[in-house]
Chain A
Amino acid sequence: MGDAPPPPPAPLVEGGGSDGAGPDPNSHRLSPETVSVELSMGGDYYHACCGDPDPDHKPEGPQVPYIGNKEPLSALAAEFQSGSPILQEKIKLLGEQYDALRRTRGDGNCFYRSFMFSYLEHILETQDRAEVERILKNIEQCKMTLSGLGYIEFTFEDFFSMFIEELQNVLQGHETSIGPEELLERTRDQTTSDYVVMFFRFVTSGEIQRRAEFFEPFISGLTNSTVTQFCKSSVEPMGEESDHVHIIALSDALGVPIRVMYLDRSSCDTGNLSVNHHDFIPAANSSEGDAAMGLNPAEEKPYITLLYRPGHYDILYPK
């Protein structure tokens, strides 16, 4: 057992005889292009694949929980104290409408986790049973969509049940009802949280594939893949980040409007700085539920507001 592991294959220095012909294949690894390729693959790439000597002891330092505590918006201002003046100004503007935020972990699932918490918290606070009835119908529809696309129910039903269970838990008046603290606890619990994220991922994937024609132009602009490939590789797997396409699809499929505030460095020439936002309003035809409720979805103000910073979503609370 005392054998020391041998060193890795050492690059041979001398260019022995006939081998001297080609360029040194090692030299390219030092070129700037290669370095930038690695960096562009995301911070996790280097860490996960090259830098982590012992994978079983992931750095467990002070990590942001899946869903953080509610913080005053001033916390955000503090973060950008020495940052771009445009961002500082925008945060000030945000402060006119919003007074708190809740951070989420930046693990590629932040959009879904923000949505999960925000939606469940909304139901917990409003006890809007009509909304629960409505979304349950949409969920049933989503199930049928997936089955229709050839997904085996067995592979997604548990994720669906988990969300429905959470939905019922936040409704008060029965044995398993939960309060705000428990909701936070449950959305921080890995199994519950991951299962619900997977529920959203499948719903999103199903919606994109169901309306493949509509989504196709967006997707082919983003990647070189077909709609199905895109769903398999960039929607369904945990940790794959979300873009406009995902938000549109999820909002449409569940019939839930979402507002996204964009905190970026863009500004316009007129000097009037404003924080861009986009409202994702569910397409009217995306579910029969809306029509039945007699609501004109376009007039519905989103009760879910997310703060977008390039690459990340958090939850915002209006005043």
Chain B
Amino acid sequence: MSGKEDEFGKKYRFFKQFDTVEDFPDHHYAKNPVGKTGKGWTKRIQHDWKLLENNLPASIYVRVSENRMDLLRAVMIGPQGTPYHDGLFFFDAQFPASYPARPPVLHYQSGGLELNPNLYASGRVCLSLLGTWRGDDCENWNSAQSTMLQVLISIQALVLNEKPYFNEPGFETDAKYANGQRRSLEYNDTTFQNSCRTMLYSLRRPPQHFEDLVAGHFRERGRAILAACKYYMEGNRVGSVVPGEDDEGKELEIVNAQGPSSSDVVKPEKHEGAGRRTASFKAKMEVLFEELLMEFNVKGAHTRKFCAEKLKKSQRDAA
């Protein structure tokens, strides 16, 4: 067991942020040949590669293919303090033949789940930079300035945010109303559950060339994810800092929490977060928790605490 753990750990630690691979048979656009490309195309993509190689933020990993320069796969780790925290989100991209006159095409590996108003269950990525969304002018694709790096960073910064509900056009004005805030919290609940489901999908069928990252990431973050699940089930807000688990100590994350605050954390009996969270949230979370626990165990995450609890509970139930 420990030998296996070391192997996982090593591969994870040495997992390069940017690398070239031979081939992408399971890529969303693998069967969609780019067609005839111009001379400038290759040069421009190599330029994009360079930018990615030298500037990727720590939470984004990219693989490109020498044989299919039009293809690229990226994964981003969901930012802390958001319903996406610790999740892995995979994107398959293709540079069209007339790149960079046209922006790259992106497909989000959704597993059929809507993760965000800008990330459809169909895999569509709505972003003005990609021309799939009518945005402010300066956010549109401009071949003189826009790059793949910028696309990926924009998704992480603009899409995977703290309150994705307000990404929906028209909904941003709801933010000043209590109703809007409540819907936003509900959206976050659903989103976190979908993020957990996405984790399960990635664990069970990791996208090619990212197997080691998936294994290593969940081995390292598994315990924190489970602790967060528990914490949210106790009625706390999705995305808030879990006491004792927050490695960055960002207490500040708990701002304008109108519902449950960090003071009533301890978990006396299970109160439904200020009475408004639906019972189904907890029921669904319990199922997801069990499934995640199992998968994380397989990957060797430190889940002893939760396993022990589970054991105790089943003994209690049996008694």
Which residues of A are interface residues toward B (Cβ below 8 A)?
1, 3, 5-6, 8-9, 11-12, 15-16, 18-19, 21-26, 28-29, 34, 41-42, 44-45, 48-49, 52-56, 151-152, 154-159, 161-162, 189-195, 197-198, 202, 225, 229, 232-234, 236-239
Contact = CB atoms under 8 A, between A and B. Distances in A.
Given A55-B122, A55-B124, A157 B40 contact: yes
Given A22-B176, A34-B170, A158-B44, A54 B122 contact: yes
Contacts, number: 150
A76 B86 CA distance: 59
8 contacts: A3-B113, A21-B177, A49-B133, A55-B123, A154-B43, A191-B97, A195-B98, A236-B143
Chain A CB count within 10 A is highest, among B112, B138, B140, B182, for B140
Given A1-B111, A158-B40, A49 B138 contact: no
B151 interface: no
A158 B39 contact: yes
A292 to B, nearest CB: 31
Nearest to A158: B40
Interface residues of B, number: 61
A237 B190 contact: no
A41 B107 contact: no
Nearest to B28: A56
Please give me the 6 A-B residue pairs with the lowest Cβ-Cβ distance, nearest first: A158-B40, A233-B137, A194-B98, A22-B177, A19-B178, A25-B174
Given A49-B126, A190-B97, A233 B138 contact: yes
B150 interface: no
A152 B178 CA distance: 49
Nearest to A189: B36
B135 to A, nearest CB: 10
Given A55-B124, A194-B98, 16 more contacts: A1-B201, A5-B114, A9-B187, A9-B190, A11-B183, A19-B179, A25-B173, A25-B180, A28-B173, A45-B134, A49-B169, A157-B40, A158-B41, A161-B40, A195-B98, A236-B142
B186 interface: yes
B132 A49 contact: yes
Contacts of B37: 191
A194 B102 contact: yes
B121 interface: yes
Contacts of B170: 28-29, 34
Contacts of B270: none
A57 B153 CA distance: 26
Given A1-B111, A25-B177, A55-B122, A229 B137 contact: yes
Contacts of B182: 12, 16, 19
A21 to B, nearest CB: 7
B276 interface: yes
Chain A CB count within 10 A is highest, among B137, B197, B204, B276, for B137
Contacts of A157: 40
A9 B278 CA distance: 12
A56 B107 CA distance: 9
Contacts of B100: 155
Contact of A12 (B41, B132, B183): B183
Given A9-B186, A12-B182, A158 B111 contact: no
A203 to B, nearest CB: 13
B221 interface: no
A161 B101 contact: no
B180 A3 contact: no
A66 to B, nearest CB: 11
Chain B CB count within 10 A is highest, among A1, A6, A11, for A6
Interface in B92-141: 96-98, 100-102, 107, 111-114, 120-124, 126, 131-134, 137-138, 140-141
Given A5-B112, A25-B177, A54-B122, A232 B183 contact: no
B123 A56 contact: yes
A55 B37 CA distance: 23
A5 B137 contact: no
A227 to B, nearest CB: 14
Contact of A238 (B102, B123, B124): B102
Contacts of A6: 190, 193-194
B144 interface: yes
Contacts of B38: 158, 162, 191-192, 195
B312 interface: no
B179 A24 contact: yes
A34 B180 CA distance: 18
A79 B124 CA distance: 36
Interface string B184-210: 001100100110010001001000000
A41 B98 contact: no
A206 B197 CA distance: 50
A202 B100 CA distance: 13
Contact of B134 (A11, A28, A49, A238): A49
